[in-house]
Amino acid sequence: MIRTLSLALGFCLMGSAMQAQSGIRLTLEEAQAVAAERAYAVRYAGFDKEAAASTTRETIASGFPQIGGSVEYNRYIDIPTQVSSGDMFGFPDYLTTFLGDVAQTTGVPLDAPPTDPNAIQEFQFGAEQTVTAGITATQLVFSPSYFVGIQAAKAYASAMEAAESSSIADARRAAGEAYAAALAADQNVAILREAESLATDAFEQTRALVDAGLAEATDADQLALAVSDVAQQRATAKSMAQVALDALKFTIGMPVETTVILADSFETLENGFDGASVLGTPFDPVHLPEIQTQARNLELSELGIRNEKAAGLPSIGAFYTNQRNAQRDAFNFLDEGSWYPIQLVGVQMTIPIWSSFAGKERVLQAELTRDRAATALDQLTQAAQLEYRAALSEYTSALEQREQAQRGLDLASRILDRTRTKFTEGLASSFDLTQAQNQRVNAQGSLTQATLRWLNAHLRLQRSLNA
């Protein structure tokens, strides 16, 4: 089985011409295994799971030191100008008083210009070109939201894992139903092929009797018409069988141009499906992947409440900055010249004080989300219970219908055998023979449909139990 499955997966990935010519034989179990790996829904769920795991790692990494570098170059087309009052940089009061006293004592007046209270002075500071390069390191010291975020990321990753398990279970059931449908289509072709063979044999016998003068030509014509009708039905059924086989390949994620041969038959599936084992499995919704996914969603909503409450607590972060600054009148920063250091370290605490009741409303919204998730979990649990009961009822009904269809086929086969004997002895008409053959074909078709329904019911019951 492992070797066959490896070939199937290898063909899906490479599509070699040799495998296309010989074909790949797949049992139901192998088709389900391929679907668990290659079905589109499973692949999408795998992407979501990997993305959730990456989000968890990203959230954890945000609490470790963060280091960044920067280089900034500025060229002033116009150096910024600063202005001040005219006496901004005049003598201090004590010096003015001293000089006034000296002038008064010596009798030499100060030759000072008259003051203008409206005068201003203009200054330009800095060089025409500057470069600043440095690194900054930050470290989260304390943040309640960070710790809650880690727990939420892990819960989300767990929910995505459960969702992937649910996708795999659904893919296996869909693969089983598609495989059974393809088998039923092949079985229908075989039934019509057998019916065509029987009708042809009856036509040949009747034509011989007509040639011998022991039967009417109308009987031969009626049988010839029956042969033509069955042949047309067989051709249609063959086309539908190919469509069913392509649907199976699409369902399990294989290219539709792949040549696939169904290795199982209805008989092998009937022997492989252990109804007693499934019926003896107790129902426990906790083991269902969709219930586990919703339980993780409820956990996430609980963490959402904690996160909103944590938003009102202080957070502390530390930082360190080391920069070098160069100022030049020309672009010669690679030459010798002064680079002025800027270095600082600090701690920052953010303390929410008043949010005008917005934080309280966010907590209320998170609680409503939690209540909604709890209600959804209860709904899913009740729905799972209902699905199990419906699947169990359908399985029991399908099993009874299959047994009735088998009895109907046995009865139709006996009627056909007796009618064929009477027809050979001239005690039954061609119409009677055609009718008996049609009854047997219909009985075979009913048994095929009943078996298909039973297999699907078995798969549904397995899915409802996650067995």
What pLDDT is attached to residue 5? Answer: 44
Query: Is the pLDDT at 12 greater than 60, yes or no?
Result: no
Query: Is the pLDDT at 17 greater than 60, yes or no?
Result: no
What pLDDT is attached to residue 212? Answer: 79
What pLDDT is attached to residue 90? Answer: 62
Q: What is the pTM of this model?
A: 0.79
Average the pLDDT over each of 113-122, 173-182, 373-382 and give the range with the smallest value. 113-122
Mean per-residue pLDDT, 260-278: 82
Same domain as 121, residue 148? no
What pLDDT is attached to residue 379? Answer: 96
Please check whether residue 254 is in contact with residue 127, taking contact to mean a CB–CB distance below 8 angstroms: no
Q: Regarding predicted confidence, which is higher, 211 or 406?
A: 406
What pLDDT is attached to residue 202? Answer: 83
What pLDDT is attached to residue 14? Answer: 41
Both tokens of residue 227?
């042969």
Per-residue pLDDT reduced to its tens digit, 322-333: 999 998 888 888
Residue with tokens 């269809």: 405
What pLDDT is attached to residue 2? Answer: 37
Residue 265 lies in a domain: yes
> pLDDT band for position 299 (50/70/90)?
very high
| Domain interval for residue 114 | 80-125
Nearby residues of 420 by Cβ (< 8 Å), 6 or more positions away: 202, 433, 436
Per-residue pLDDT reduced to its tens digit, 339-378: 889 999 999 999 888 888 888 898 999 999 999 999 999 9
What pLDDT is attached to residue 366? Answer: 93
Q: Which residue, among 269, 259, 266, 199, has the nearest Cα to 228 in the 3D structure?
A: 199
Same domain as 385, residue 279? yes
Instruction: Supply φ then ψ for residue 75, to 5 degrees.
Output: -125, 115
Same domain as 228, residue 96? no
For the chain, the distance separating the N- and C-terminal CA atoms, rounded to the nearest angstrom, is: 21
Q: How many CB atoms lie within 10 A of CB 431?
A: 13
Query: Crossing angle of helices 430-465/358-424, nearest 10°?
Result: 150
Residue with tokens 């006293």: 101
Residue 321 lies in a domain: no
Share of the chain above pLDDT 70, in %: 90
Same domain as 119, residue 193? no
Residue with tokens 């016998």: 205
Q: How many structural domains compose the chain?
A: 2
Q: How far apart are CA 269 and CA 373, in angstroms?
A: 40
Amino acid making up residue 366 = A
Query: Crossing angle of helices 144-211/40-61, nearest 10°?
Result: 170
Pairing of strands 66-75, 129-142: antiparallel
What pLDDT is attached to residue 262? Answer: 94
Same domain as 246, residue 104? no
DSSP notation for 293-355 = HHHHHHHHHHHHHHHHHHTTS-EEEEEEEEEEEEEESSS-TTSS---EEEEEEEEEEE-----
Same domain as 275, residue 394? yes
Query: Is the pLDDT at 43 greater than 60, yes or no?
Result: yes
Same domain as 399, residue 285? yes
Residue 185 lies in a domain: yes
Residue 55 lies in a domain: no
Same domain as 184, residue 87? no
Same domain as 285, residue 220? yes
Instruction: Supply φ then ψ for residue 366, to 5 degrees.
Output: -65, -35
Domain termination residue (choose one: 93, 125, 157)? 125
